[in-house]
Amino acid sequence: MKNAPFFSILLPTKNRSHLVGYAILSVLQQDFPDFELIICDNDDDPHATNSVVKGFCDPRIQYIRTGGLDMVSNWNTALNAATGHHIIVLEDKMIFYAGALAAINQLISKSPSGIVVWRWDGIQDEGAVPILVQPHQADDALLNSNDILQKVVTNVTEWWYTLPRGICCTVPRSIIDEIIQKTGRPFYEEASPDFVSAVKILAYIDEYLLSGKIFTLVTTSKASNGYWTSRRKFNDFSYLMGSKKFEPNFEGVYVKSPWIVVNCIIADYLRQQKSLGGKLMRFNVSNRAYFEMLLIELITYSLLEKRVLWERWEISQLFSGGDGVFRNLWYTVNLLSHRFTRRVWRKIKSSMIMVKITKQQPLRNAKTSISESFISEYLAGVIKIQDRGSYG
């Protein structure tokens, strides 16, 4: 009988056949061989990704053609097919750096739960000139799930990199199976399967390891669901929902808009809090925290796009809900104070390295051929980052 692999790498993909080959290659080039790669092809075109996968001949690849599924179901299909001891989700717009799996394997024994989270480099390519964003490498640290849950309900986007979301994270299959058994529901759920899985994990474990090392690169920001949602570029949500009817659930939040990313995330959290109970009931989202998280998204994306992205009814709901108009105006003044702005900007500058990508600008670990070939072809215009994509 075949032994179960150490890692199961889930690669749910949709309409990114121009990128998925780089993700596959980055896995197959790893010097840690004990893994399986589960590719769930949810493309609208039944041949595009299939033809890319056929270009690789490796018995560790398991290809599953889905098509027409919603994103969550595609993720669960990949998980159900996995047989490995540790689960990693690799987005189709991501690549592993050389030696990543071997390094992650060494870190697992340092985590009390066996869960390891790491940060990532990213290419921001919404503007005319692509920018490579690299977090500073740091020391490894054990994180307490209660501390992280408190940060989630206070400012989830600031602490996003610490969450055990499956993406840039490895989770023991035994923990996933235990959560499925206790909840009686699929591990990945709407609307954001990565975030929902993180909330479930935080509800059931005590500590995990946050590595200060960088193991992955997000090769494009322009193809992400968050980008398309926040910029209002989806005509509808059928692209994410497949043939499933889109029925947004905003119970517990007073802004009823699916276009505000953090609004959807908080709605996801509140649904899980109500469903799972337990220690999640100790971590509540205050009206002030909710208001400030949404206001930060409104300001940030509107400045980037040089126009107000929200509709009038969304702004009206934000300022009139919760603690009321006058209290929300006071929150706004406090949030935009000079002192607060300076503190945030110092935090951004101290935690990130942002450089324009040129032909002379190598990626971290540029000795790996996947990094060099991707950047060279990207800059030469051989790779066209399409305007529409989904990570599931």
Quick one: 231 exposed, middle or buried, by C-beta within 10 A (0-12, 13-18, 19+)?
Answer: middle
Report the pLDDT averaged over residues 239-263.
76
* Residue 362 CB neighbours (<10 A): 14
Report the pLDDT averaged over residues 351-380.
52
Parallel/antiparallel/unpaired status of strands 352-356 and 131-135: antiparallel
Confidence bin at 240 (pLDDT 50/70/90): low
Report the pLDDT averaged over residues 10-38.
93
Q: Is the pLDDT of residue 352 over 60?
A: no
How far is the CA of 343 from the CAs of 136, 335, 337, 339, 349, in angstroms?
A: 18, 11, 10, 6, 10
List the structure tokens of 61: 């690849």
Going by C-alpha positions, the residue among 69, 29, 21 that lies closest to residue 49 is 21
Q: Is the pLDDT of residue 386 over 60?
A: no
* Residue 15 CB neighbours (<10 A): 21
List the structure tokens of 69: 């599924």
Per-residue model confidence (pLDDT) at position 9? 98
Are the C-beta atoms of 92 and 391 separated by less than 8 Å? yes
Confidence bin at 372 (pLDDT 50/70/90): low
Rg of the chain, C-alpha, whole Å: 21
Parallel/antiparallel/unpaired status of strands 7-13 and 86-89: parallel
Residue range 64-90, pLDDT digits in tens: 999 888 889 999 999 999 999 999 999
What pTM, to 2 d.p., does this model score? Answer: 0.87
Q: Rounded distance, CA 33 to CA 57, Å?
A: 15
Residue range 159-191, pLDDT digits in tens: 999 999 999 999 999 999 999 999 999 999 988
Q: Is the pLDDT of residue 380 over 90?
A: no
* Residue 5 CB neighbours (<10 A): 18
| Cβ-proximal residues to 252 (8 Å cutoff; 6+ apart), any chain | 266, 267, 270, 271, 274
Per-residue model confidence (pLDDT) at position 235? 53
For residue 268, the surrounding DSSP H or E stretch is helix 261-276
